Structure 1
Amino acid sequence: MTKRLIKNEISKKAVDFLLVYCGNLKPNEKLLIIFDETTQKLIPLFEESASKITEFIKINQIKQLSQHGLEPPKIVSRNMIKSDLIVALTSKSLAHTKARNNACVKGARYLSLAEYSLDVLENEAIFGVKKNKLNLLTKMETILNKGKIVQVKTSLGTSLELNIDKRLANNCPGFVEKPGQLGSPPDMEVNISPIEDYSFGSLIVDGSITHPELGLLQNPVSLKILKGKIYKISGQEEAKKLRKIFEKLNNPKTLVLAELGIGFNEKAKLCGNMLIDEGAANCVHFGFGSNSTVGGKNEVSFHLDFIVKNADVFLDSKLIIKKGKPLI
């Protein structure tokens, strides 16, 4: 068997795994698949797999979005509300949109498969989603829900403080079984939205920045944060690119520290892909921009994640993550 045929078989198994294990697609359910031109070649794989389970399949193409968090066309939003399972195969994520939130409120299960490609389908991280790890994520969710002050430190110089008092964590295990749930396999994470105007300190990003112009970092990027917003970006070439990204957006809301996330996927290795990197075990990530649909108050059509390796995380002065590993 040629390498290409082997890869095709791996991709087919991955799609079956995503729809059945992660999406919990059942006979006669209404499935909506959303895609753009970057993921068009994946549609036959998903359609073939889904057609073995349900005949109620609707496929909507949208224009390629310029950034994460932009709303889809209204006709797509209406179709989302009518669906049991939504598979969003778009280059930019729709997870932080009102359309996604409204669909989930109506009971839709939502798989956010942003930045997917054949390479992602062939990545072993897909099969790192394990339902028997849900208890670990639930423990971390409970711990965060009871806490107030988070401090993050790394050997490279990160020293950051966040306030999560009265904010509720989101348990995102990478699969959806109940109405309204959101999953982004292979991302397995627990995240929480800190109080937007409180965070302060230094964040040294040494893993990746999930933007097409950045990705896996060769050099660390330093962020200075005060009253919840980035006020200084320093480093080498990557820092210059990041400054230009924010300058082009020209919106102070994009600079808000909006999310702290903790990865649990043991098979995910940092590569620059958002859903693989966010869920990577031994890493924490920080989202900047929108969090209004996940428990925060910052509403903006932008969300960008910054992954940090081997961090120590303290909650109310108690060490809960040591060198990236949760102590639960």
Structure 2
Amino acid sequence: MRLLDDGAKKGKVMKELLMMKGAKTLVDVATKVQAGETVLLVTDYAKTDIAQAVAAVACDRGAEVMIMCMKPRKRAGEEPPAAVAAAMKNADVVIVPVSYSITHTHAVKNAAAAGARIIVMTDFTPEVMMHGGIEADFDQIKPTCIAVAKALETAEEIHITSPGGTDLRFNTKGRRGNALYCVVEKGQFSTIPTIEANTTPIEGTAEGIIVCDASIPYLGIGLVDEPVICKVEGGFITEIKGGRAAEILRKDLASHADKNSYNIAELGIGLNPKCRMCGIMLEDEGVLGTCHIGIGTSLTLGGVTKAPCHYDLIMWHPTIVADGKVIFDKDHPTL
């Protein structure tokens, strides 16, 4: 028994040491924490080990570090408690390792507007801190990410097709393109380790078919074992077909009793060559050679819709055409 206890302790120590690599990336590269800055870790009961690892590095850099631990949210897109939201607006850096995403909330939008540098770490595991997308060279990929976001921002009509059967069109005139490359300046937020360029459709303009054949990293679904096929009319999903994953998504959206849950909210293009398709949201969404269609809230990305949720439907090997020009062809940007 003693030998087993000693082995477990050694394994725990080794895990903590390996997590420090990711913690240093978050503090030194993603947010560039400086001595004297206020750093707020917003976490929940299930992610305190990750928050503590990041806090230790931030403390070592001379920052004033606080950890606020809340109950895990019940669903993605649920606002954090008011006290947490207030603290977020008064921090220089906000790092958010949580079980369910608070990315698409007023709390994040308001904290960014107040000047915080925000990194969101939804559904992180110790393994995500050690290897995978977090090992990418964010600065090297940054120019490509910005270029793709610019192409989305200057476009009016977007057309997405995929070998799996997606055929979706929408208008995005006047909407901003967002470049999320895991490095934030004042007033910005980014997810990590996904690197993506995204935009929001004009409400009511999306028409066609979405075929999700990779992942829905929410609601316990993860990698899909059968494609989820969504019919889109007038900017909203009107029909969902498929197997187990489709049934889970259909029941959850219906449970909100809010039409905005079906809103076509986002096109995101994965650009991180180190990300792996594994069922974890911020790894899956960044996989190079994929795109995702976000549904529900678009408010934090440049749209106007606030819904009870925000979920992403990820597909393999899309071709994305902006105003008649191919900007992404199956696996790579073509800019």
Same fold flag (TM > 0.5)? yes
Q: For residues 43-63 of structure 1, what are the alpha-carbon distances to aligned partners after superposition, in whole Å with 9 as ceiling and x for unaligned? A: 331222111012411111111
Structure 2 length-normalised TM: 0.94
Structure 2 equivalent of residue 152 of structure 1: 160
Q: 1:58 aligns with which of 66, 78, 93?
A: 66
For residues 32-111 of structure 1, what are the structure 2 equivalents within 5 Å?
32-111=40-119
Q: Which residue of 1 aligns with 2:239?
A: 232
2:25 pairs, out of 8, 13, 17, with 17
The structure 2 residue matched to 1:135, chosen from 139, 143, 155, is: 143
* Compared CA separation, residues 198 and 100, structure 1 to 2 (3 A): same
Q: Is the 8 A contact 1:129 1:173 kept in 2?
A: no
Residues of 2 paired with 1:212 and 1:14: CA distance? 26
Residues 14-57 of structure 1 show CA distances to partners (whole Å, capped at 9, x for unaligned) of 11111111111111100001111110222331222111012411
Asked whether the 8 Å contact 1:129–1:185 carries over to 2, the reply is no
Partner-residue secondary structure (3-state), 2:226: coil
The answer on 1:273 being equivalent to 2:273 is no
8 Å Cα contact 1:288/1:303 also seen in 2: yes
One-letter code aligned to 2:251: K
The 1-side partners of 2:240 and 2:64 are apart by 49
Distance 1:24 1:55 in 2: 11
1:208 aligned partner: 215
Does residue 311 of structure 1 match 2:318? Answer: yes
Cα distance in structure 2, aligned partners of 1:55 and 1:205 = 43
Query: Contact conserved, 1:129 with 1:175, CA < 8 A, in 2?
Result: no
Q: TM-score, normalised by structure 1?
A: 0.96
Q: Secondary structure in 2 aligned to 1:230?
A: strand
Moved more, 43-52 or 26-35: 43-52
Q: Does 1:293 align with 2:297?
A: no
Q: Does the residue aligned with 1:242 lie in a helix, a strand or coil?
A: helix
Structure 1 stretches of 5 or more lacking a match? Answer: none
Q: For 1:223, give the aligned amino acid.
A: C
Alignment check: 8 A CA contact 1:71 1:99 kept: yes
The gaps in structure 2 that reach 5 residues or longer are 1-6
1:27 and 2:59 matched: no
Q: Could you tell me which of 250, 254, 258 is aligned with 1:243? A: 250
Aligned residues: 327
C-alpha distance in 2 between matches for 1:162 and 1:123:
36
Report the more deviating stretch, 158-167 or 7-16.
7-16
Give the aligned residue type for 2:191: S
TM-align CA RMSD:
1.5
Does structure 1 conserve the Cα–Cα contact (< 8 Å) formed by 2:256 and 2:308? no
- 1:244-275 Cα deviation digits (max 9, x unpaired): 11121221100000000011110001111111
